[in-house]
Chain A
Amino acid sequence: MSSLQLAREQLAQQLSRHKYGHHVVSLGEASLHAHRTIAVGDSFAEVLQRAQLPIGLVRGRVYQCAGVAPMSLAVALVQRATAEGSWVGWCASEHLNWSAAHNAGWCLERVVQVSCAEHWCEAVVALASGVEVLVVNVPSHVSPSSLRRTLLSTAVQQCVVVALGPMHGMSSDVVFTATQRTWLKENELQEQVAFASQKLSVHVGGRRVPSEQYFSLLVG
């Protein structure tokens, strides 16, 4: 019997002896913090399940967002994580529109942005020691060997890395690629028409994905 199972049984016995113990019907499987995945939105959860992957972002893995709308994909991927208490570090050269992130459901009180080009690797490793999700864009001057060492450090620190755009030849665990975008409009009856949202056709691939998948994601 593993130590986790033993601890679980002991806890169940203690609870059953408690005066309110009769309310305790069963206990869920215990798991270490490092083994718990970070929550994702329903669309992502469904496609990850179809792709026979753990439902959620697995700590230590690299997820890549690419295609016609990489930032929208990354924001949607990370939204549930910020809402459920995870800190997100933004270490990318692209300037995120924080209003758009707020509208997408991000809890901005748990977000930090690091602007650095020179010490990018050191900054990513330092930030990974305390935040659970890192959104990065690898600068062109970072060599593949430095990038490999950096990603190894983030993996050791159980940090999820979400990469925007290319990874300098390195393969990612899961790659979300927005292949096509359809614009949806609002206020059709009024004089002024505006883009209300986008519907993205997303391809899911990557070295950890046994069977490639497609799904649609509504953004906005």
Chain B
Amino acid sequence: MNPHSYRVAIVRAIGSDARELNALAQGITAIAPLIEVVDDEHVLVPMRGPTRYFGGEKEVAERLFSCAPKNATLTIGIADGRLAGLIAARMAQPLFIVPAGETADFLAGIDVRHLDQFVDISANTLSLLFRLGLSTCGKIAATSKQLLADRFGPDGNMLHVLCAGEDLHPPLIEKIPTLYYAEGHYEEPLVQVDAVFIAAQQLAVPLVAKLQAEHLSMCRVIVTLTTEHDDMSERVWYSAAGFHEQGLLERVRWQVTTWLEESSGLTAGVHNIAINVQNTVPIGHEQPRLWGGRSESDAAARMAIARVAGVVGQEHVCVPEWHGGRDITREYELVPAHRVDLARHEATVHRVTPGVLRPAAWSGDMGQHAPMQNIFPPEKVEVLNHLHAAVEVTGRHHVRSEPQYIRRNEHLFLVRTWHGPWPVEERWWDPLRQRRVVRMQCLVDDGKQEQGWLVTLEHRTWWLVAVYS
């Protein structure tokens, strides 16, 4: 067995909401302490203690299955390390045990392009790894760690560790005494979620600042809330890249909200909040800026984003991120705000800056005037000629007949003028993600006003993808 890896069970609750996941976590806490809620679907259980107590991994798994919430289906993956556990939980029907010491072999055949589902790494990096010939985890593990670190920086280092079946940070078996600790005791118990949230914020902000002053970021933290009647909620939170204050506060809000929604309910207000940092990671140095760096409005916006995420859900609060490609409607993709670092100025600028390989002008370029409104999902339309037959485009990108009408939702629009077609061939090297599309600008008239539309032809079907609104 690898000395740097630890047995973990990843419990995947398919179809559970936050309340059910909290109930599941509460149930598992009775079997194993110091479990981690990884995300809104997965719970990590350190296996060393429970395996010895219950007499084996299958016995522990049986007890974990007995904690299943009513409306969720559980699958469990047991392996050495977090990554292998997550993949095993995805493959489990309903249990998948990777034997101890065989995790590296298990990971060796995994396609690197699927890793972004389990590891916080960009799809572009994974695509580049694939094109460089490092198509599986086994090939990455066999490559020199130094080479990967030189080429991909911290991401390369992380990938090498994970693909070798090791963990960046082993699971927490017992609490570690720490220098970084913040505790608040409240004479007037806090009875509302917002009050607890603000109190936690007052603890978290100086703690994050103190760590930042030492060029550290907390990557594993235990948050403990205690009521006047000694009811207690304790959660271990982990982020490999380290928490910024917003990310930590979102987890505190989840913890408080789900705790208050428990069926047993609380009988008293919260009178003690403790944040106990268990592991830290070094952060890259960021030179403070004289002008144009972080500002008070940035901090206020981050707090507002955390607040609105508590209202509508984290997945509905998004920020744009540069993804590249030749499709002007998809150059930027929306990513949930809680998954990106909004605190570091360099990270936020890097997130939205177009790649250096973005072409200034190319054969299929439509110019800089992009349509302002995307139609998502794209609407199927019919582009018709004067005989009301579908307009076709040849392999040499010539339009066989002039577009005269476009039918959208049974409504016929007259085409006043049109431009194009502009061909796009994306990711021709990748059989799974390659696209061949032809685009055309059309000025249509519905009898009231003229509208500019961008339509595309893909697999012999026309789509309305954007409007010059």
Contacts and interface: CB of A to CB of B under 8 A. Distances in A.
Contact of A97 (B312, B419, B451, B466): B466
A148 B349 CA distance: 36
A68 B449 contact: yes
A160 to B, nearest CB: 13
B443 A130 contact: no
Contacts of A123: 308, 311-312
B419 A197 contact: no
B109 interface: no
Interface stretch (A48-56, A98-106, A203-211): A98-106
A94 B451 CA distance: 16
Interface in B388-404: none
Contacts of B422: 192
Contacts of A109: 348-349, 351-352
Interface string B297-308: 110111111011
B328 A99 contact: yes
Contact of B304 (A85, A130, A187): A130
Interface string B317-330: 11110000000110
Interface stretch (B130-138, B158-166, B369-377): B369-377
Contacts of B329: 97, 99
B25 to A, nearest CB: 25
Interface string B326-364: 001101101001000000000011011010000000000
A127 to B, nearest CB: 5
A19 B369 CA distance: 53
Interface string B438-469: 00010100000111100000000000001011
Contact of A98 (B295, B305, B312, B331): B331
Interface of A: 68-72, 75, 85-87, 89, 94-103, 107-116, 118-119, 122-123, 126-132, 181, 183, 185-187, 192-198, 220
Contacts of B351: 109
Interchain residue pairs A-B with the least CB separation, the first 5 = A130-B304, A98-B332, A220-B369, A100-B370, A108-B352
Nearest to A120: B312
Nearest to A124: B308
Contacts of B449: 68
A194 B307 contact: no
30 contacts: A71-B469, A72-B468, A87-B300, A95-B374, A96-B374, A97-B373, A97-B374, A101-B372, A102-B332, A107-B352, A108-B332, A110-B301, A112-B301, A112-B305, A112-B318, A112-B319, A112-B337, A116-B311, A116-B316, A123-B312, A126-B307, A126-B311, A130-B301, A131-B300, A183-B452, A192-B419, A194-B366, A194-B420, A194-B441, A198-B452
B372 A111 contact: no
B288 interface: no
A183 B369 CA distance: 11
B368 interface: yes
B431 interface: no
B372 A71 contact: yes
Given A112-B337, A131-B301, A99 B331 contact: yes
Given A113-B334, A126-B308, A183-B452, A94 B469 contact: yes
A198 B469 CA distance: 10
Given A97-B372, A130-B304, A194-B419, 9 more contacts: A87-B297, A87-B301, A94-B469, A97-B373, A103-B370, A109-B348, A111-B319, A112-B305, A183-B452
